């Protein structure tokens, strides 16, 4: 990889590369799996989150490595600014809207957990907050939380905070940045797997499933496949084997989704999740150089792609909708409730995508530079005020004097 001298480097622009329809389709599969899991129709659908992680690791690392190739460095401020414009508007809209709705019409327990969890969502630390409260991921019998699903957003945000500085250091000191990024990603992913295996016990697996350190391998394997040496190897393999290999990987992922159960499949935490993430990473790496295989063509099916394009907002909204449209409130259960949840979630996600996400991400000049920083500061301050000014219901007092 040629590295431009900083003084001679041309400004890096993220001028959007042609979209890869197959990767949008993979996002669509990921969100549909999560929806099927949360509505009780696919026990292994939670693996869609792992697919999201791997896709994020790949796409972010590919973008950063292109910047290193163009400029010899990584602009952390520019990268984090792009991430804020991409993720924050839809997240803030959902957070504020759901919080006010729950406070106005929700039961006291739900109001308390919503106001308690909100600041941790804002700080991108919700996964650690839930673990500190011993809120088991698969515990369906405790008090529900409208923001519980955002643990995965917290993991990704922590990755976005920590991984770019690593690439900046590598770009500054390594003669072959691509190779060294591959080494770092591979080594760190193996270390993350080892930590998961070490910490996985016989009890609730929530610690290893939602902990950033034990889930990092899903993101890092995607990052590994984005590096030059691995991409070159997969491109060579794709010349002859792309179709067959992609079909086998897709079949393996489907089998894992059909067999996995978060509470009984202990093999997930001793290598199963790692194998799933590796299969997903390799599938991504094959779809990029060989977009005309029948697997990549199938993933580019327009309805699947559309689900992928709205997947971020759909992920944000689906769980609060699921909690708020409970059988007690709607009188619906089973398939009718599932259809109602899907319809409302799709509607809200579509509005979010086209009225909030895209306008601010692509067209709002005020969201960039100094005015963008001021807007970010104002939004974060406003959220912080929201958690304080909305009064939480008094906790239930249990009278034990008569016991």
135/262 Cα distance (integer angstroms): 15
Pairwise CA distance, residues 350 & 223, whole Å? 29
Q: Looking at the domain assignment, is residue 227 inside a domain?
A: yes
Tell which residue, 135, 152, 154, has the closest CA to residue 143: 135
CA distance 155 to 219: 9
* Residues 223 and 229: beta-carbon distance below 8 Å: no
The 10s digit of each residue's pLDDT in 173-208 is 988 999 999 999 999 999 999 999 999 876 778 899
Average pLDDT over residues 238-249: 91
pLDDT in tens, 149-163: 999 999 999 999 999
Closest CA to 276 of 68, 63, 66, 48: 48
Burial 318-353 (b: 16+ CB within 10 A, else e): bbbbbbbbeeeeeeeeeeebbeebbebbbebbbebb
CA separation, residue 342 to residues 87, 202, 307, 349, 357 (Å): 22, 35, 12, 10, 20
Q: Residue 398: what pLDDT?
A: 55
pLDDT greater than 70 at residue 40: yes
CB 383 within 8 A of CB 376: no
- What is the per-residue pLDDT for 343? 97
- Global confidence as pTM: 0.92
The whole-chain average pLDDT of the chain stands at 90
- With tokens 């996002």, the residue in question is 27
Would the pLDDT of 15 be above 90?
Answer: no
pLDDT in tens, 270-313: 999 999 999 999 999 999 999 999 999 999 999 999 999 999 99
The rounded percent of the chain whose pLDDT value lies above 90 is 80
In a domain, 15, yes or no: no
Is the confidence at residue 366, as pLDDT, over 80?
Answer: yes
pLDDT of residue 305: 96
pLDDT at res. 133: 85
**Is position 369 within any domain?**
yes
Give residue 338's domain range.
23-389
Does residue 14 carry a pLDDT above 70?
no
Residue 16 token pair: 């959007």
The single residue listed with the structure tokens 């899903």 is 218
- Both tokens of residue 212? 């950033």
- Cα-atom radius of gyration of the chain, to the nearest Å? 22
Q: Where are the alpha helices (H) located in 123-271, listed in sequence order?
A: 126-132, 151-173, 177-199, 206-210, 212-225, 228-259
Return d(Cα 347, Cα 351) in angstroms, integer: 6
Query: Is residue 14 in a domain?
Result: no
Stretch (H or E) spanning 327: helix 327-330
Number of domains in the chain: 1
Would 398 be classed as within a structural domain? Answer: no
More confident position, 198 or 402: 198
- Please give the pLDDT value at position 403: 53
CA distance readout (Å), 244 to 226, 228, 286, 294, 300:
21, 23, 10, 10, 18
Give the helix/strand (H/E) hosting 294: helix 294-299
Place of tokens 């991108």: 124
Domain membership of residue 17 (yes or no) is no
Q: Which residue from 128, 95, 129, 111 is spatially nearest to 380, judged by alpha carbons?
A: 95
Residue 403 located in a structural domain: no
Which of 12-16, 105-109, 260-264 is the most confident on average? 105-109
Tell me if 11 is assigned to some domain. Answer: no
Q: pLDDT-based confidence at 239, cuts 50/70/90?
A: confident
Angstrom distance (rounded) from CA 71 to CA 65: 10
pLDDT digits (tens, 9 = 90+) for 76-128: 999 999 999 999 999 999 999 999 999 999 999 999 999 999 999 999 999 99
């Amino acid at each position: 990889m040629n590295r431009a001298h900083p003084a001679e480097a041309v400004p890096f622009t993220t001028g959007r590369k042609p979209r890869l329809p197959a990767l949008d389709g993979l996002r669509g599969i990921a969100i549909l799996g999560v929806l099927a899991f949360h509505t009780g129709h696919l026990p292994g659908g939670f693996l869609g989150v792992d697919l999201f992680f791997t896709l994020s690791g790949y796409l972010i690392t590919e973008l950063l490595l292109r910047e290193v190739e163009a400029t010899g460095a990584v602009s952390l401020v520019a990268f984090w600014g792009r991430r804020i414009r991409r993720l924050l508007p839809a997240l803030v809209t959902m957070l504020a809207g759901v919080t006010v709705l729950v406070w106005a019409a929700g039961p006291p327990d739900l109001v308390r957990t919503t106001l308690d969890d909100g600041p941790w969502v804002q700080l991108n630390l919700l996964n650690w907050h839930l673990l500190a409260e011993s809120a088991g991921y698969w515990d369906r019998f405790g008090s529900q939380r409208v923001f519980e699903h955002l643990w995965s957003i917290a993991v990704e945000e922590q990755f976005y905070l920590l991984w770019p500085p690593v690439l900046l250091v590598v770009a500054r000191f390594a003669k072959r940045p691509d190779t060294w990024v591959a080494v770092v990603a591979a080594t760190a992913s193996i270390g993350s797997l080892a930590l998961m295996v070490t910490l996985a016990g016989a009890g609730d697996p929530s610690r290893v499933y939602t902990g950033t350190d034990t889930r990092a391998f899903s993101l890092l394997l995607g990052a590994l496949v984005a590096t030059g040496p691995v991409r070159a190897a997969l491109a060579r393999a794709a010349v002859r084997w792309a179709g067959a290999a992609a079909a086998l990987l897709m079949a393996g992922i489907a089998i894992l989704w059909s067999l996995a159960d978060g509470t009984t499949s202990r093999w997930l935490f001793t290598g199963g999740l790692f194998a799933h993430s590796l299969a997903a990473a390799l599938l991504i790496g094959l779809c990029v150089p060989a977009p005309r295989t029948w697997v990549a063509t199938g993933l580019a099916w327009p309805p699947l792609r559309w689900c992928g394009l709205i997947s971020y907002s759909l992920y944000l909204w689906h769980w609060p909708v699921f909690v708020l449209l409970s059988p007690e409130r709607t009188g619906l259960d089973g398939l009718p409730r599932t259809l109602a949840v899907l319809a409302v979630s799709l509607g809200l996600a579509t509005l979010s995508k086209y009225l909030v996400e895209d306008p601010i991400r692509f067209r709002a000049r005020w969201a960039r530079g100094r005015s963008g920083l001021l807007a970010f500061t104002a939004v974060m301050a406003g959220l912080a005020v929201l958690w304080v000014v909305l009064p939480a219901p008094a906790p239930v007092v249990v009278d034990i004097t008569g016991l």
